[in-house]
Structure 1
């Protein structure tokens, strides 16, 4: 049952709300002379809070474009990305006031994450340090929290708006990346592009982020409402930005995601054939980049560095095979290593041991099965996002906030749309039943 602003008024009492409004107004007025920026921030929070009472999906929808912001926020001794902060704020109206009941697919994914979280509790006990506990809650937010926020957007009927805002945000990051590449190439530097505007980003971050947006535009589900006139140019911009980033893992993730969508979309075989043909140059580019790094003999390049880290991660796991060294163990003083293992299973093994790996396998195998069984109109994109993410993480870091939360945010939206469409009333048009969305 959805809680509306009228329900809040009835339960809290109009007098309490008026008193709270007066206190907040006086507080903002008191801050204005001495701390105007803080006063502005409080005012914005209050306005957003009021909007959330009128429409509970306000914060979840706003979280969609803000989920791409990698800028860091420090408060109360914590250091997290703005994306994480917004996701944490949006979670509360999403979990308290989003449409109920949760669909069977969402419930299944949430329970699968419960299994993973439960099995990683053992590493909290075996390795009692603060970052370990904080990351345990953070990991839950990145998966279950993102799923529920996405669900709130989709199930409330705001999927088109939310995902469109997300796509525009990604395009606004892709265009400066391409512009920077053009300037860099003009100067004779044909190396990877590390975007500097609107904020500094790693090539692998921008690459993997834009892969999620590219898969959305390539799948272009009917409920998204994007026509070819807008989707095709947008997709080209994203693909060019991914290419100039020279993120090999992003290119592999894009290829795998395109393959999943192409094989599942039996209604458009011509487009599927074109997509499959496009995978060949992607594979060639990736293999060429790897070959060049091996041939260079530079033991400090990313290829040889990763091989060294793979071997070292395995050795670290052997030192504590059952429960690992704790989540984010590499951040601790005197840790067995000072790097985050660049492979999902090696990272989970070194952090949580065999017990945690078991939970990780249950989470991902179960998630892929659940999404594969969904109605393809909604599940195809969700499945492609999941498979692409787990594929990318075999060659790169897994537990990186936005790289995890964005796919699950979009997956949750797909599941929410499925619920909204299947529960929408139907009307008759010329003897044909049409869903009223």
Structure 2
């Protein structure tokens, strides 16, 4: 081996040796700390051990914490009180955000920067209502919205840019499949008892039917998209799609079914290199929209003012009344939980929620975030952009019929969009031959042999036979 080769080998081996030594040192410290704390407080000892494990994993693999946050992102169990009512998903996302911010690869791609600037514009627009309406829940929700959008994007970017996009999406999908199985089992038991109503899960933690339906709709779209860079077997993606779709129908969340149908239509109509999707599924998506329409019309004509459709109409009118009390800046984020009005409901429509909470200024920032965010995602490479566009559009569409700013239902789509953005940049680095900064690993190997993006002025390879996707 030549001298230059020996020097390069030593340069690559030194960080690995340093990282291994750091992990061993942290392990020794963790064992000693647990030994000291265990006799007096076992809980504290376990927390200290967990912190040391997380730090050790980050030393060995910088994207470890963001990747581990992917399955935790679906845990909607709520903790806290007194105006600080957050989910365990929020806490996992918060921890992963700081790890991603410190350790994720830079620079951000142009679409990623655009989305972050749009998120900042939304935060600036809603800052007025925080200043005009000073109370705890308002301030907490302002930071929560930032975490659910900007924080989730950064965490997803860290997963995709590190070459762990396939692993991250798999870890996200697996708990969703478990929730789908639980939903179908509960629906079957209810049906056997003569109950045809929606499903509200109690195990392993309480889950509302609208949360279950929306989460499973997103998971079904991820499986249906089956990005080539994830490298899932066709049987796994197809089985996951139908299982999550069945779970969404079992939950009977109509807004989730509308979003799922819209997402399938978008994915079926948008072209993708070397893949041709069968459009026969449109024969099922369009009738599903019609079935939802018939169900809503039946409720509106029933004369029952307390069913979900008529109740929404009453809430729409009440939300407009709340907005008129402060048209420009609104009554504050989460005004319904602050006893600032006689109303105690969260408006089941995205625009009415923004008008009543943050006024015309806040609504302008909201529309800029979601409508403006579609532009950079639409211009991405279709292999990465199709899923990203669909997720953002579906969240916006479903938010027309139900609560919008709800834990997990906002953060999960932006988390997955961040994964798509990071994966595209990782593939671009592989195409340009840029070496991976961590351990000298080749980018295409880290992503699982992703086909390289075709650089400018380089002839594209001869097209392969089209793959027919589900």
CA contact (8 A) 1:368 1:383 kept: yes
Is 2:422 the partner of 1:405?
no
Q: What is the aligned partner in structure 2 of residue 167 from structure 1?
A: 173
Q: What is the aligned partner in structure 2 of residue 435 from structure 1?
A: 452
**Structure richer in helix, relative to its length:** 1
Is 2:397 the partner of 1:391?
yes
Is 2:292 the partner of 1:292?
no
Is 2:342 the partner of 1:325?
no
Secondary structure of 1:80's aligned partner: strand
Is 2:65 the partner of 1:59?
yes
Structure 1 residue 46, shift from structure 2 partner: 1.3
Is 2:117 the partner of 1:100?
no
Task: Please say which of residues 113-122 and 293-302 is displaced more in the overlay.
Answer: 293-302
Secondary structure of 1:407's aligned partner: helix
Number of matched residues? 424
Residues 1:39 and 1:369: Cα distance change in structure 2 (over 3 Å): same
- Choose from 172, 195, 200 the match for 1:189: 195
CA contact (8 A) 1:216 1:381 kept: yes
The superposition leaves residues 11-44 of structure 1 with CA deviations (integer Å, 9 ceiling, x where unpaired) of: 9xx99x96x8776554432331232233223212
Q: TM-score, normalised by structure 1?
A: 0.91
The superposition leaves residues 327-369 of structure 1 with CA deviations (integer Å, 9 ceiling, x where unpaired) of: 1111113434211111111111111111111111111111011
Q: What is the aligned partner in structure 2 of residue 354 from structure 1?
A: 360
Structure 1 residue 194, shift from structure 2 partner: 1.1
- Choose from 371, 376, 390 the match for 2:382: 376
Secondary structure of 1:423's aligned partner: helix
Task: Please say which of residues 161-170 and 189-198 is displaced more in the overlay.
Answer: 189-198
Give, in whole Å, the separation in 1 of the partners of 2:451 and 2:250. Answer: 44
Give, in whole Å, the separation in 2 of the partners of 1:9 and 1:92. Answer: 25
Residues 1:52 and 1:77: Cα distance change in structure 2 (over 3 Å): farther
CA contact (8 A) 1:214 1:235 kept: yes
Give, in whole Å, the separation in 2 of the partners of 1:253 and 1:386. Answer: 10
- Choose from 191, 200, 205 the match for 2:206: 200
Task: Please say which of residues 70-79 and 349-358 is displaced more in the overlay.
Answer: 70-79
Give, in whole Å, the separation in 1 of the partners of 2:339 and 2:16. Answer: 48
Residues 1:368 and 1:259: Cα distance change in structure 2 (over 3 Å): same
- Choose from 83, 88, 96 the match for 2:94: 88
Task: Please say which of residues 89-98 and 261-270 is displaced more in the overlay.
Answer: 261-270
Q: What is the aligned partner in structure 1 of residue 315 from structure 2?
A: 309
Residues 1:259 and 1:124: Cα distance change in structure 2 (over 3 Å): same
Structure 1 residue 48, shift from structure 2 partner: 1.4
The superposition leaves residues 197-231 of structure 1 with CA deviations (integer Å, 9 ceiling, x where unpaired) of: 22111110000011111111111110011121111
Give, in whole Å, the separation in 2 of the partners of 1:23 and 1:160. Answer: 33
Structure 1: unaligned runs, 5 residues or longer: 428-432
Q: What is the aligned partner in structure 1 of residue 134 from structure 2?
A: 128
Is 2:132 the partner of 1:115?
no
Give, in whole Å, the separation in 2 of the partners of 1:269 and 1:104. Answer: 26
Task: Please say which of residues 325-334 and 52-61 is displaced more in the overlay.
Answer: 325-334
Secondary structure of 1:74's aligned partner: strand
- Choose from 25, 28, 31 the match for 2:34: 28
Task: Please say which of residues 154-163 and 120-129 is displaced more in the overlay.
Answer: 120-129
Is 2:227 the partner of 1:210?
no
The superposition leaves residues 73-119 of structure 1 with CA deviations (integer Å, 9 ceiling, x where unpaired) of: 33998432110000000001101110111000000000011111111
Instruction: Kindly report which structure 2 residues correspond to 1:235-250, keeping only aligned pairs within 5 A, or say none.
Output: 235-250=241-256
Q: TM-score, normalised by structure 2?
A: 0.85
Task: Please say which of residues 294-303 and 24-33 is displaced more in the overlay.
Answer: 24-33
* RMSD value, Cα: 2.6
Q: What is the aligned partner in structure 1 of residue 443 from structure 2?
A: none
Is 2:56 the partner of 1:37?
no
Secondary structure of 2:236's aligned partner: helix
Is 2:288 the partner of 1:271?
no
Secondary structure of 1:402's aligned partner: coil
Structure 1 residue 69, shift from structure 2 partner: 0.4
Structure 1 residue 8, shift from structure 2 partner: 12
Structure 1 residue 260, shift from structure 2 partner: 1.1
CA contact (8 A) 2:273 2:383 kept: no
- Choose from 234, 237, 240 the match for 2:240: 234
Task: Please say which of residues 107-116 and 330-339 is displaced more in the overlay.
Answer: 330-339
Residues 1:87 and 1:192: Cα distance change in structure 2 (over 3 Å): same
Give, in whole Å, the separation in 2 of the partners of 1:213 and 1:125. Answer: 38
